[in-house]
């Protein structure tokens, strides 16, 4: 069986929030929009965090769902979310996140 | 050459010079190449003030400083054709893009036939119907039909959102089938919540529109419309298809012909 292609989405959250709450909110929004079937494609997992910069692991299909949620809702539960970059490997995602300075976005 | 993406409908909470730079900076962060701030004409606000025009001028300057293309846009949201005509007469040449919200049959029918209107904005209600004659006029005069995201964000319940998404899907399918030019904008007041163009592409793709069409609706089609209108305002386009060339371009064309 072929391995599913993953995507690592680097996002910036304006508000301070803990990982678990953000993950739960994201799952709630996904179920609200695409239901449980859609969630099976998305299945977000926070794999890295540096201050307000998060790296979420998802599938290629899941990325489209995530972006659609951001278009429809403007964020996650009223919180502004910005996609900074999408990478194909965790190594690269971590490198990009490490190089970013959160104060660049908070201005 | 990379594509230039536009958000042709950004709204601001107030016409205050202080927020201008913030808006431009956020648009730049979202990696757009150009944007437009629209002045809305609706039954409760029926004139364009001097301060609004000054605000647009100032925005254009700030956008230029940041390397963005700024477009002045007039958005008419009236139900009576007579009132729309009055505004068109007064303001057409002061704005680079003029759009009308398709609130009822009368307005849609008029907007698709009047050459001063560039964009018909889709309004998600059962009143928005493009009939055979309208489609023919829209196609022949190269008008755009615009889809805004803010109507989807304003939904109060999931049922309303589902209903509106259904209308969007139905009308997008019609527009693609009839080969009308679509445009995709945000129409959102706070620039912080404006989606980036990649998200917009993915979202409309989920609604069944071809990726190629969406990309063009965010970039090429808008650029062509703005260029055409700027030429018209500068007096370089005498009538549709007749253009006054500058010396350099004239020479290039003559060389090609010979």
Q: What span, in angstroms and rounded, lies between the C-alpha atoms of B46 and B75?
A: 11
- Which of A19-28, B19-28, B235-244 shows the lowest mean pLDDT across its residues? B235-244
ipTM: 0.87
Q: What span, in angstroms and rounded, lies between the C-alpha atoms of B76 and B42?
A: 6
Helix (H) or strand (E) holding A36: helix A19-42
- Asked whether the beta carbons of A43 and A58 are under 8 A apart, the reply is yes
The SS3 call for residue A107 is coil
How much is the pLDDT for B44?
A: 84
Q: How far is CA B108 from CA B79, B145, B228, in A?
A: 10, 11, 23
> Which residue is it, tokens 């990009």?
A96
- Which of B41-45, B162-166, B234-238 shows the lowest mean pLDDT across its residues? B234-238
Helix (H) or strand (E) holding A1: none
Q: Which long-range contacts (CB under 8 A, 24 or more apart) does A91-96 make?
A: A92/A8, A93/A8, A93/A10, A93/A47, A93/A48, A93/A55, A94/A48, A94/A55, A96/A10
Average pLDDT over residues B155-179: 93
**Number of structural domains, chain A?**
1
Average pLDDT over residues A53-68: 93
Let me know if residue A61 belongs to a domain: yes
Q: What is the pLDDT of residues B70-87, one digit of tens each?
A: 999 999 999 999 999 998
The pLDDT-based confidence of A101 (bands split at 50, 70, 90) is confident
What percent of chain B shows pLDDT beyond 90? 65
Let me know if residue A31 belongs to a domain: yes
> DSSP string of B106-175?
HHHHHHHH-TT--EEE---STT----HHHHHHHHHHT-EEEEESHHHHT-SSHHHHHHHHHHHHHHHHHH
User: If 0-12 CB within 10 Å is exposed, 13-18 middle and 19+ buried, where does residue A25 land?
Assistant: middle
Domain that holds residue A96: 7-102
Which of B206, B208, B209, B211 should we substitute to test contact with A (largest number of A Cβ atoms within 10 Å)?
B206
**Pairwise pLDDT comparison (A14 vs B107), residue with the higher score:** B107
- Among A67, A75, A80, select the one facing B202 at the smallest CB separation: A67
How much is the pLDDT for B248?
A: 74
Query: How many other C-beta atoms lie within 10 A of the C-beta of residue A95?
Result: 11
Q: How far is CA B230 from CA B60, B93, B225, in A?
A: 14, 10, 9
pLDDT at B255 over 80: no
> Which residue ranges make up each domain of chain B?
6-257
The SS3 call for residue A93 is helix
Let me know if residue A21 belongs to a domain: yes
Inspect the interface and report whether the beta carbons of B188 and A83 lie closer than 8 Å. no
pLDDT at A1 over 90: no
Q: Which of residues 33-62 of A touch B (CB under 8 A)?
A: none
pLDDT at A106 over 70: no
Inspect the interface and report whether the beta carbons of B195 and A70 lie closer than 8 Å. yes
Q: Which DSSP symbol is given to A14?
A: S
What percent of chain B shows pLDDT beyond 70? 99
Inspect the interface and report whether the beta carbons of B199 and A68 lie closer than 8 Å. yes
pLDDT at A107 over 70: no
Q: How many contacts, defined by CB atoms under 8 Å, are there between A and B?
A: 45
**The pair of three-digit structure tokens given for residue B211, joined into one six-digit string:** 């990726």
Q: What is the pLDDT of residues B195-218, one digit of tens each?
A: 999 999 999 999 999 999 999 999
pLDDT at A65 over 60: yes
Average pLDDT over residues A67-79: 89
Beta bridge partners of B199: none
Q: Which chain A residues touch B189 with a CB distance below 8 Å?
A: none
The SS3 call for residue A85 is strand
Average pLDDT over residues B24-30: 90
Write down the architecture of domain B6-257 according to CATH.
Answer: Alpha-Beta Barrel (3.20)
Inspect the interface and report whether the beta carbons of A74 and B193 lie closer than 8 Å. yes
The pLDDT-based confidence of A60 (bands split at 50, 70, 90) is very high
pLDDT at B250 over 80: no
Inspect the interface and report whether the beta carbons of A67 and B149 lie closer than 8 Å. no
- CATH number of the structural domain spanning residue A88: 3.30.70.3250
- Among A65, A72, A107, select the one facing B153 at the smallest CB separation: A72
Let me know if residue A2 belongs to a domain: no
Let me know if residue A33 belongs to a domain: yes
pLDDT at A104 over 80: no
Chain B: residue whose CA lies nearest to A13: B192
């Amino acid at each position: 069986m072929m391995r599913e292609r993953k995507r690592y989405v680097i996002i910036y959250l304006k508000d301070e929030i803990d990982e678990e709450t953000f993950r739960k909110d994201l799952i709630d929004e996904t179920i609200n929009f695409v239901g449980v079937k859609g969630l099976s494609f998305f299945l977000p997992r926070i794999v890295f965090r540096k201050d307000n910069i998060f790296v979420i692991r998802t599938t290629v299909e899941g990325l489209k769902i995530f972006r659609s949620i951001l278009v429809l809702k403007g964020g996650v539960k009223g919180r502004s979310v910005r996609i900074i970059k999408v990478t194909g490997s965790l190594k690269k995602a971590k490198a990009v996140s490490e190089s970013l300075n959160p104060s660049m976005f908070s201005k | 050459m990379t594509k230039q993406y536009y958000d042709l409908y950004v709204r601001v909470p107030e016409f205050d010079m202080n927020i201008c730079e913030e808006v431009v900076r956020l648009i730049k962060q979202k990696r757009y190449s150009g944007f437009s701030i629209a002045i809305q004409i609706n039954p409760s606000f029926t004139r364009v003030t001097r301060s609004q025009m000054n605000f647009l001028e100032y925005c254009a300057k700030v956008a230029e400083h940041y390397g963005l293309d700024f477009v002045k846009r007039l958005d008419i949201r009236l139900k009576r054709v007579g009132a729309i005509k009055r505004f068109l007469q007064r303001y057409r040449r002061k704005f680079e893009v003029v759009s009308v919200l398709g609130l009822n049959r009368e307005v849609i029918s008029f907007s698709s036939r009047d050459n001063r209107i560039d964009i018909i904005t889709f309004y998600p209600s059962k009143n928005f119907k493009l009939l055979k004659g309208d489609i023919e006029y829209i196609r022949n005069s190269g008008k755009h039909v615009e889809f805004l995201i803010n109507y989807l964000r304003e939904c109060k319940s999931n049922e309303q959102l589902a209903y509106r998404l259904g209308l969007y899907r139905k009308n997008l399918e019609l527009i693609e089938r009839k080969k009308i030019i679509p445009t995709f904008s945000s129409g959102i007041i706070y620039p912080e919540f404006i989606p980036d163009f990649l998200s917009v592409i993915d979202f409309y793709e989920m609604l069944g529109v071809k990726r190629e069409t969406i990309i063009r609706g965010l970039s090429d089609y808008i650029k062509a419309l703005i260029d055409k209108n700027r030429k018209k305002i500068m007096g370089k386009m005498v009538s549709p298809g007749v253009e006054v060339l500058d010396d350099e371009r004239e020479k290039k064309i003559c060389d090609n012909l010979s």
